[in-house]
């Protein structure tokens, strides 16, 4: 072989090696970008702190649902690289439902690994100050995957709630207002099971002993607490009000709780209960029927439940809204004291044209 041919052959090999090196470097760089470069929830304004966003994949959802959501919210920058790596990592056939946190500047690899493993971020569910079953269903349904209508249906399913030891009039007693962590795609039935576990955890031996001492079941404590909470929004008064009602129960006196009449008529803005309201034949009419009503008139919070269990022991049998200390109540041991207090308050209402 001539020297010129040898030189040409050596040049070709040299350029081939250079070309392959450049190709390898280019491929490696692109591969690195596919795997590790920020591609989700990009923080384009580096000086400001960008919050995480949450990808919701519904039960029964598929890879197309994931793509549609990412595109809709513009959470993915390079869709092609996400598609390629999803195929390579076999994620497309292993989509799992749930709520997934997309941190600022997340890369394909970490996101796909998280989605494929089903590593959800729990959602915190807080509820309080709720009155009715539909309010409870709406609250959970606005945060979790199960729709309000599905939750409401179970709340009214006699056979289903019986499994937890309740009926449809008192099932809301099982739902204790608090903040709970749970997965977004929890089923409606699993939600009930979780709340039942929390309910049993709340009703520990100490609380059960206090309820037994009073002569009430946990459900009855909840029913009474619902009335106490509706009577006063002053936590300091609740143990006293609870004591009044417990005193009435002990002497077989009607509870005569105005909030139960408000519950019957369904007008929660009613400011003044009249004699006509007391004629209603509802079992929730505590003027007409002795004892506790069949279910709670609202969902009492934990502090009110404890206020009933730790009620203040007094001789009070009566209380009336105070005409001098607005928002609070005037308490009395005798009916005469009650009449005087009531007259003072009625006078206040009339003078201020409150109906």
Domain ranges of the chain: 49-117, 124-202, 205-314
- The DSSP bridge partners found for residue 124 are 181
Tell me what pLDDT residue 339 has. Answer: 93
| Separation CA 64–CA 41 (nearest Å) | 19
Tell me what pLDDT residue 11 has. Answer: 52
Say which DSSP state 174 is in: G
| Separation CA 264–CA 205 (nearest Å) | 34
Which of 227, 125, 128, 217 is CA-nearest to residue 176?
A: 128
The structure's pTM equals: 0.85
| Separation CA 308–CA 156 (nearest Å) | 27
- Burial letters for 126-157: b for 16+ Cβ neighbours within 10 Å, e otherwise? ebeebbbbbbbbbbbbeebbbebebbbebbee
Q: How far is CA 29 from CA 24, 32, 38, 236, in A?
A: 8, 5, 14, 67
Q: How far is CA 261 from CA 19, 128, 255, 293, in A?
A: 88, 22, 11, 11
Contacting residues for 104 by C-beta, under 8 A, at least 6 apart: 41, 42, 43, 49, 50, 51, 52
Largest distance between two CA atoms of the chain: 130
C-beta neighbour count of 258 within 10 angstroms: 19
Four-CA torsion 99, 103, 106, 111, nearest 10 degrees: -20
Tell me what pLDDT residue 140 has. Answer: 97
Query: Could you give phi then psi for residue 334, rounded to 5 degrees?
Result: -115, 160
For residue 211, what are its two tokens?
Answer: 């309820």
Say which DSSP state 286 is in: T
Architecture of the domain defined by 49-117: 2-Layer Sandwich (3.30)
Tell me what pLDDT residue 14 has. Answer: 54
Tell me what pLDDT residue 22 has. Answer: 45
Question: Percent helix, strand and coil across the chain, each rounded to 5?
Answer: 50, 10, 40
pLDDT in tens, the chain (355 residues): 555 555 555 555 554 454 444 444 444 545 557 787 999 999 887 767 889 999 999 999 999 999 999 999 999 999 999 999 999 999 999 999 999 999 999 999 999 999 999 999 999 999 999 999 999 999 999 999 999 999 999 999 999 999 999 999 999 999 999 999 999 999 999 999 999 999 999 999 999 999 999 999 999 999 999 999 999 999 999 999 999 999 999 999 999 999 999 998 877 777 777 667 777 889 999 999 999 999 999 999 999 999 999 999 999 999 988 888 888 999 999 999 999 998 998 888 888 887 6
| Separation CA 306–CA 156 (nearest Å) | 27
């Amino acid at each position: 072989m001539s020297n010129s041919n040898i030189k040409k052959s050596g040049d070709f090999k040299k350029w081939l090696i250079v070309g392959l090196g450049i190709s390898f470097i280019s491929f490696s760089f692109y591969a690195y970008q596919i795997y590790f470069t920020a591609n989700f929830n990009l923080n384009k304004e580096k000086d400001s702190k960008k919050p995480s966003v949450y990808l919701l994949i519904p039960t029964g959802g598929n890879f197309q649902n994931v793509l549609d959501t990412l595109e809709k919210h513009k959470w993915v920058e390079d869709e092609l690289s996400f598609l390629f790596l999803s195929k390579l990592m076999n994620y497309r056939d292993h989509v799992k439902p749930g709520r997934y946190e997309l941190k600022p500047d997340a890369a394909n690899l970490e996101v796909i690994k998280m989605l494929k493993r089903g590593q959800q971020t729990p959602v915190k569910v807080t509820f309080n100050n709720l009155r009715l079953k539909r309010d409870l269903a709406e609250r959970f349904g606005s945060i979790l995957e199960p729709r309000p209508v599905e939750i409401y249906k179970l709340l009214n399913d006699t056979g289903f709630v019986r499994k937890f030891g309740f009926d449809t009039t008192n099932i809301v007693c099982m739902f204790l207002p608090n903040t709970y962590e749970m997965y977004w795609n929890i089923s409606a039935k699993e939600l009930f099971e979780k709340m039942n576990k929390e309910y049993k955890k709340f009703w520990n031996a100490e609380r059960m002993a206090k309820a037994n001492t009073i002569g009430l079941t946990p459900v009855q404590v909840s029913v009474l607490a619902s009335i106490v909470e509706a009577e006063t929004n002053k936590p300091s008064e609740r143990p006293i009000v609870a004591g009044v009602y417990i005193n009435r129960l002990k002497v077989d006196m009607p509870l005569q709780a105005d909030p139960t009449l408000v519950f019957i008529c369904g007008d929660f803005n009613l400011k003044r209960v009249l004699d006509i309201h007391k004629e209603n034949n509802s079992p929730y009419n505590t003027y007409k029927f002795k004892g506790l009503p069949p279910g709670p008139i609202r969902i009492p919070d934990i502090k009110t439940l404890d206020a009933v269990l730790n009620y203040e022991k007094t001789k009070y049998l009566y209380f009336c809204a105070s005409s001098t200390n607005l928002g609070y109540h005037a308490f009395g041991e005798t009916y005469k004291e009650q009449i005087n207090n009531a007259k003072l308050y009625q006078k206040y209402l009339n003078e201020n044209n409150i109906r």
